[in-house]
Structure 1
Amino acid sequence: MNEGLVVDYGFVFNQETIFTVLKTSLFFSGDGFTVFDCNGQLVFRVDSYGPDSRHVGEVVLMDGHGSCLLTVRRKRPSLHQRWEGFQGEGIDGTKPMFSVRRSSIIGRSTVTVEVNNNPGEDYQVEGSFAKHCCTILNANRESVAEIRRKVDASTSVMLGNDVFSLTLKPGFDGAFAMGLVLVLDQINADDFVNDGIQVDSITEE
């Protein structure tokens, strides 16, 4: 089993687990998500976090009942699009559980995840989140989670870009993984706005 940062032990599983992640807007990056398990049960949700949200640059991950699990906020100023993750709704006066940053502000780059209070527990995201084809690797270069385009099991047809799969390896916290998905989506949205086109914002070096 992979052992790492745990936001909520209720989302740590002994076997490989696949979630279906659905964006709640077909038109805008960074609008919201609903996440379902293999039985169609709602596991996580993220309401709109655009310009009308309570804090611009803040994203709140909730469980299926609406309880706050994790808050990620953009750290300013930051040249490398650094984000920080806080357990629950605690931000002011509390230390972040982890931070996420791009390795470069231009060109091809990976995304690095640093876990506080455990210097040896770092992660990297490699691949293309824009194409929903990327992998989260631990410090030993082992895959702990994967993001892939969703394929309809009955027709073998690849679904639209608004739906994808999040596969968790045994022991890797699903709430932590979804927190990283939210940051990746925001980085991708920033690239969309800055470049005026959809780009592969996260690519392997």
Structure 2
Amino acid sequence: MGVTNIAPVVSKIYCSSSQTTLMVRRRPRMVNGGGFVVMNANQNVVFKVDGCGILGIKGELILRDGDGAPILLIHKKGGVVQALSAHNLWNSYVMDYEEPSKLVFSLREPKSRLLRNGSIKISTDTNGRNKDWGFEVKGSFIKRACTINDRRGNVVAQVGLMEMMANKDFYHVVVQPGYDQAFVIGVIAILDNIHGESTRC
């Protein structure tokens, strides 16, 4: 099918040749915006997301690996031009020696509730044009019933509630073979923040 030949967004080390089920658990709300942890099937933490309550900065998230090393800095773009735009733009940068170095993807979030029924677009075009949207989010993240699809309509990852659990603080993300799990969790972190969940203050 050629799926395993897809180029990684963040790094090939986060791509697996087999389908991977990741479990997301929101951190306790003792600290607002505490973020969440992501575990594999062996209950090992593979990713952590720090939100506003930990970082102290609104519109900024950090995706870390299981050991706590930063992978991505995710930043909501501000400024006058952004304020006048119909969309919020989120940029995600690879962390290099504790500093953001290279833009790897951007996510465009509709500001208006009228536009919210449309899909959320994600670009891996790092030349700053953001017109070539290679991925999109479809469905409802709030209901834990959404997918990330590539431009051909292939499902990259699917978010769903754990069976036998009606708790939205604990859900799973199924990532298809060959796709970048760090990219997928980075997108999930932005969706979490957009909807005022664990990463928001």
What's 2:60 paired with? Answer: 58
The 1:95/1:40 distance shift into structure 2, 3 A limit, reads: closer
- Larger proportion of strand: 2
How far did 1:30 drift? 4.3
SS across alignment from 2:103: coil
What's 1:70 paired with? Answer: 72
What's 1:38 paired with? Answer: 41
Q: What is the CA–CA distance in structure 1 between the aligned matches of 2:94 and 2:64, rounded to whole Å?
A: 11
Is the CA contact 1:103–1:112 (under 8 Å) kept in the aligned structure 2?
no
1:105 has 2:105 as partner: no
Is the CA contact 1:4–1:121 (under 8 Å) kept in the aligned structure 2?
no
Q: Which consecutive residues of structure 1, in runs of 5 or more, have no partner in the other structure?
A: 152-156, 194-205
How far did 1:123 drift? 0.4
More deviation, 18-27/66-75: 18-27
CA deviations on 1:147-205 (whole Å, 9 max, x unpaired) are: 11111xxxxx1341101101100000110100000111111118xx9xxxxxxxxxxxx
Q: Which consecutive residues of structure 2, in runs of 5 or more, have no partner in the other structure?
A: none
Alignment of 1:87-102 (within 5 A): 87-88=94-95, 89-91=98-100, 94-102=101-109
How far did 1:144 drift? 0.6
Q: What is the CA–CA distance in structure 2 between the aligned matches of 1:99 and 1:125, rounded to whole Å?
A: 13
Q: What is the CA–CA distance in structure 2 between the aligned matches of 1:74 and 1:117, rounded to whole Å?
A: 16
Is the CA contact 2:88–2:110 (under 8 Å) kept in the aligned structure 1?
no
What's 1:148 paired with? Answer: 160
Is the CA contact 1:12–1:171 (under 8 Å) kept in the aligned structure 2?
yes
Q: What is the CA–CA distance in structure 2 between the aligned matches of 1:14 and 1:96, rounded to whole Å?
A: 25
How far did 1:57 drift? 1.4
SS across alignment from 1:131: coil
Give the superposed CA RMSD: 2.4
Identity %: 28
What's 1:22 paired with? Answer: 25
Is the CA contact 1:148–1:165 (under 8 Å) kept in the aligned structure 2?
yes
CA deviations on 1:82-113 (whole Å, 9 max, x unpaired) are: 1000001433xx55211101245222231100
How far did 1:120 drift? 5.5
The number of residue pairs the alignment matches comes to: 183
What's 2:193 paired with? Answer: 186
SS across alignment from 2:74: strand
Q: What is the CA–CA distance in structure 2 between the aligned matches of 1:102 and 1:48, rounded to whole Å?
A: 18
How far did 1:81 drift? 1.9
The 1:66/1:28 distance shift into structure 2, 3 A limit, reads: closer
Is the CA contact 2:103–2:126 (under 8 Å) kept in the aligned structure 1?
no
How far did 1:125 drift? 0.1
How far did 1:49 drift? 2.4
